[in-house]
Amino acid sequence: MEFYLFGELIVLPTDVVAAWVSVILGTPIVLYWLTKKRHWPVIWDYATSTNHRKIGTLYIIFAILFFFRAGIDALFIRLQLVTPENQFWVFQGDKYNEIFTTHGTMMIFFVAMPLLIGLMNVAVPLQIGANDLAFPFLNAIGFYLFLTGGMIFFAAFFFNAAPNAGWTAYAPLSTYEFTGGPNNNYYIFGLQISGLGTIFAAINMIVTILRLRAPGLKLTRMPLFPWASLITSFLILVAFPVLAIALLLLQFDRLYGATFFVGELGHPVYWQHLFWIFGHPEVYILALPAFGIFSDIISAFSRKNVFGYTSMVIALALIGMLGFMVWAHHMFTVGLGPFANTFFAITTMMIAVPTGVKVFNWLFTMRRGVIRIKTPMLFALGFIPTFVMGGVTGVMLASAAADMQYHDTYFVVAHFHYVIIGSTVLGAFAGLYYWYPKMTGKMLDEKLGKWHFWLFLIGFHLTFFPQHLAGLNGMPRRVYDYTWEDGVFVYNFISTIGAFMMGASMLFVIWNVYKTHRPKKENVGADPWDGRTLEWYVPSPAPEHPFEKMPIIDRRDALWWAKQEGKPLPVAEHHRASPVSIRTVQPFVLSVALTIMSFGFIYGWLWMQIIGGAASLGFFVLRAFNDERTAVYRKEEQDNEQ
Amino acid sequence: MKILVLLSFLFILSGCNLRVLDPKTQTASDQAFLIYLSFGIMMFVVLVVALLFIAFTVKYRETEKNRHDVPKHEEGNRTLEIIWTVLPIILLIGLAVPTVMITYDVSYIGASSDDNAVHVNVTGEQFRWTFEYENGKETHKKLVLPEDREVIFHLTSKDVIHSFWVPKLAGKIDVLPGEENRLKVTPEETGTYQGKCAEYCGTLHADMRFEAEVMEQEEFQAWLNEE
């Protein structure tokens, strides 16, 4: 579509027009509905809260919204690839490059990460007997930074400037010379801002887990989800600053003509090293929390303690550590030479050992147990074979010389969808069904949950299994077209059918949530699943300051043993100074300032950069002189003295 | 579920003519060997996990009878832990040794062993390939190679990163700006094979294809000398 605005010719592809039309039509309807149902007080309550459960819920809600957006990208990709020489809508050439870039980037940074951080927010403080995260205000900031980054990235498409250099944004393609325009600036600022939020969340999680555990809850008595969160947070703390540096260098290359990744002095491979030194630990940042969730769920629904607890913790730590030593296995074809290639091949294979230990420990947790097949457990059961299939193709890919055949083909696409969907997405769904009562007080419907699971899992395998074969038959990734002679039509066709099954399964999630909240049902009790860990000790939904009196923990799964012996958990006499939840609009203000600054940089408008930058800096200065916790801490200390 | 099983059989049968597994050079055969080897080892792992998984979920599923049972507490089992730590290590060594050997074999190190080798300069640019022979002959869509004679590719890019890939001849190698990568193959069978750019390089990445035609040596010489 072409038209003149203020004398300038504007060309808009029809998909962007369609998006604008649906937003313009949809917004008033949503606003009317919210007003009519009187939801505004609830929204205001969540938007200004610093309570961990509410912030966690917000993370999850926005992650799922972005999930639908990135999922629709995926369906468009599959429609374009359904037959050879296909012309679906506008998705050829650059348009196709834009949707696979936004699909990948959003799924990783604005779906998988916030889903897991959201679940950590909800569950970790409750599992360790903390009243909130150590820094509730910082937590709210972290959430708003994620939302700001996500929204900036999301907005790119509406201005017909979606990033188009792949989620890996390899230089020199991502430099100004080859992809001019604002497109990839959106990528830089979207990730930079949300990445900062992720770092804050990690710091918060580390301090909370190290400092705020209930009395007697030694690290060696902690459930595995907090353990996984702790190790993941350390990974974030090391990996995300590397991404921040890489993005900053790329920003200088793009905006100010620096030559870090091009020219005589720079080198395009520097980007790949920086990106993958971040990027590979990122894979474990996504997988480890899911491992933690599955460990807790498999144990709870087998009515048994985790088999080999110590080796489970050691395996988590080993995977995290080895995760930093394998980045160049993404670069076997760059020509680093056989020494580097075999070194990274061997370190990569080593990761299979602790991962295998975990798989067998999960299996043996179920052995001699009583396996209750509820929706969360169903997702955990689906996870084991799916993830193992992704894991073994990972070992195949680690074999450096063979990887030269697999590299950048659909075989790799199949592999990483198997591991990321197999662990992170199934894990997040399992966690969502498991902790939904703790978040809202209601149980999600079992029958619809099972529909969701089976459609999703079968659709998933239909989509991604054939892609292994397409890759082995020579189909490179990131192509919008292939020919009949390529012999990959059948694989692609089946893949598209599977993708729509996965899409359909997500409709059951919407229906399920709607059905669960439709009649005003009573809240379920504190412990609807007959759980083992401390979150099932507090009411559902978890109130603010759930542990007025701290429970005393004398062993692993203390709640379970207390229930077995028919005695309540012993509690400490004094309550301890706890993080304080406040109402604040400050994070929202920072969010607006950063959005202004980012758009200033994305479009190169200096005045806007100055206004937004000054506002953000001013915010930090003002904040440095404010601490609303002082009064409350003083009061609690006085209470303890009396 | 039956359909799934049937489909997977079809897939395995169609595996015989998958391009990556239909090698026409020693390099590609070595790589195909590694693929088969790793696949075999890994299928063993999948099988073990699948058997345990099915056995445990069937046997220990909640039923009317065991609904109120409380399973015995079980810390772990040292023997089992050692088995599933050591066994994978042995399997991985079985894969790592050939991986190291073949990775060294397929990498181009130092000078060519063959004085008679054909040298081809390969230049990638958005969005076409240029193949330049020693006598100055240039082609774009078609790469012609002699049978049973060593070919050394000197690869470089004019703009962004590309990747040179003819699945039946060898695994891919990246084509970088400002740097020369090399790849050595000896085609063993005449025929026409697909070649593609395998590193995402921009708008028309999908169209950056070529054909590699392997001919008998005399035919190749004649082709090389014709205008």
**In this predicted model, what pLDDT tens digit does every residue of A97-107 receive, in sequence order?**
999 999 999 99
Which residue in A97, A366, A485 is closest to B203 by CB distance?
A: A97
Domain with CATH 2.60.40.420 in chain B: 118-225
> Are the CB atoms for A599 and A592 separated by under 8 Å?
no
CA distance linking residue A191 with residue A181, whole number of Å:
18
- A396 neighbourhood in chain B, CB within 8 Å: 35, 38-39, 42
- List B residues 129-158 in contact with A (Cβ-Cβ < 8 A): none
pLDDT at B188: 93
Farthest CA pair distance, chain A: 84
In Å, what is the CA distance from A104 to each residue of A66, A166, A280, A397?
Answer: 12, 8, 15, 20
The pLDDT confidence band at residue A39, using thresholds 50, 70 and 90, is confident
Q: Is A210 left (phi over 0), alpha (psi -120 to 50) or beta?
A: alpha
Q: Which of A273, A360, A393 to probe the B interface (max B CBs under 10 A)?
A: A360
What amino acid is encoded at B77 in this protein?
Answer: N
CA distance linking residue A172 with residue A265, whole number of Å:
13
A509 contacts: CB under 8 Å, gap ≥ 6: A64, A452
Domain B15-62+75-106 in CATH 3.40.720: no
Q: φ and ψ at B156, to 5 degrees?
A: -150, 160
A301 contacts: CB under 8 Å, gap ≥ 6: A371, A372, A373, A374, A376, A377, A380, A529
> Are the CB atoms for B21 and A472 separated by under 8 Å?
yes
Neighbours of A8 (CB within 10 A): 7
Nearest to B4 by CA among A561, A494, A326: A494
Q: At which residue do the structure tokens 């909240």 appear?
A: A517
Does the pLDDT of residue A325 top 90, yes or no?
A: yes
CA distance linking residue B61 with residue A248, whole number of Å:
53
> Are the CB atoms for A386 and A359 separated by under 8 Å?
no
**Which tokens in the block code for residue A624?**
């440095």
> Are the CB atoms for A524 and A540 separated by under 8 Å?
yes
pLDDT at A636: 65
Domain with CATH 1.10.287 in chain B: 15-62+75-106
Tell me the CATH architecture of domain B118-225.
Answer: Sandwich (2.60)
Average pLDDT rounded to a whole number, residues B122-133: 94
Does the pLDDT of residue A211 top 80, yes or no?
A: yes
A344 contacts: CB under 8 Å, gap ≥ 6: A325, A326, A327, A328, A329, A332, A400
pLDDT digits (tens, 9 = 90+) for B174-186: 999 988 999 999 9
pLDDT at B140: 92
pLDDT at A637: 66
Nearest to B154 by CA among B140, B170, B127, B175: B175
CA distance linking residue A114 with residue A489, whole number of Å:
35
pLDDT digits (tens, 9 = 90+) for A238-281: 999 999 999 999 999 999 989 999 888 889 999 999 999 999 99
Q: B172 at the A interface (CB within 8 A)? A: yes
Average pLDDT rounded to a whole number, residues B2-28: 70
Does the pLDDT of residue B66 top 70, yes or no?
A: yes
CA distance linking residue A444 with residue A454, whole number of Å:
16
Average pLDDT rounded to a whole number, residues B72-77: 87
3-state secondary structure of B37: helix
- A349 neighbourhood in chain B, CB within 8 Å: 92, 95-96
- A270 neighbourhood in chain B, CB within 8 Å: none
pLDDT at A12: 82
Which ranges constitute the DSSP H helices of A81-223?
Answer: 93-105, 113-127, 136-158, 183-211
> Are the CB atoms for B5 and B11 separated by under 8 Å?
no
Average pLDDT rounded to a whole number, residues A52-78: 96
Ranked by mean pLDDT, the top range of A10-24, A314-328, B58-72 is A314-328
pLDDT at B14: 54
pLDDT digits (tens, 9 = 90+) for A108-167: 999 999 999 999 999 999 999 999 999 999 999 999 999 999 999 999 999 999 999 999
pLDDT digits (tens, 9 = 90+) for A426-448: 999 999 999 999 999 999 999 99
- A334 neighbourhood in chain B, CB within 8 Å: 174, 176
Burial pattern A169-207, b for ≥16 Cβ within 10 A else e, equals bbbbbbbbebbeebbbbbbbbbbbbbbbbbbbbbbbbbb
Burial pattern A525-560, b for ≥16 Cβ within 10 A else e, equals ebbbbebbbbbbbbebbbebebbeebbbbeebbbbb
Which ranges constitute the DSSP H helices of A574-627?
Answer: 586-603, 606-624
Q: How far is A180 from chain B (nearest CA, A)?
A: 12
Does the pLDDT of residue A380 top 70, yes or no?
A: yes
**Which tokens in the block code for residue A177?**
């010379």
Average pLDDT rounded to a whole number, residues A534-540: 92
Nearest to A361 by CA among B133, B85, B174: B85
Does the pLDDT of residue A11 top 90, yes or no?
A: no
pLDDT digits (tens, 9 = 90+) for B33-50: 999 999 999 999 999 999
pLDDT at A549: 84
pLDDT at B5: 56
pLDDT at A163: 94
The pLDDT confidence band at residue B111, using thresholds 50, 70 and 90, is low
- B197 neighbourhood in chain A, CB within 8 Å: 476
Sheet holding B128-133, edge to edge: B138-139, B128-133, B118-125, B151-157, B181-185
Does the pLDDT of residue B110 top 70, yes or no?
A: no
A502 contacts: CB under 8 Å, gap ≥ 6: A71, A455, A456, A459, A460, A463
The chain-wide mean pLDDT, for chain A, equals: 92
Name the residue in chain A with its Cα closest to that of B108.
Answer: A337
pLDDT digits (tens, 9 = 90+) for A616-641: 999 999 888 887 777 776 666 666 66
Cis, peptide link before residue A541, omega less than 30° from 0: yes
Q: How far is B214 from chain A (nearest CA, A)?
A: 19
The pLDDT confidence band at residue A37, using thresholds 50, 70 and 90, is confident
> Are the CB atoms for A166 and A100 separated by under 8 Å?
yes
pLDDT at B80: 93
Name the residue in chain B with its Cα closest to that of A556.
Answer: B75
- B177 neighbourhood in chain A, CB within 8 Å: 172, 262, 268
Average pLDDT rounded to a whole number, residues A282-307: 95
Q: φ and ψ at A619, to 5 degrees?
A: -60, -45
- A341 neighbourhood in chain B, CB within 8 Å: 103, 107
A240 contacts: CB under 8 Å, gap ≥ 6: A195, A198, A199, A202, A278
pLDDT at A347: 95
Contact B102 A401 (CB under 8 A): yes
CA distance linking residue A260 with residue A176, whole number of Å:
12
- The CATH code for residues A39-641 is 1.20.210.10
Name the residue in chain B with its Cα closest to that of A401.
Answer: B103
Name beta bridge partners: B17.
none
Domain boundaries, chain A: 39-641
Average pLDDT rounded to a whole number, residues A188-202: 96
**Which tokens in the block code for residue B198?**
């395998």
Which residue in B56, B62, B70 is closest to A363 by CB distance?
A: B56
pLDDT at A582: 83
CA distance linking residue A220 with residue A164, whole number of Å:
46
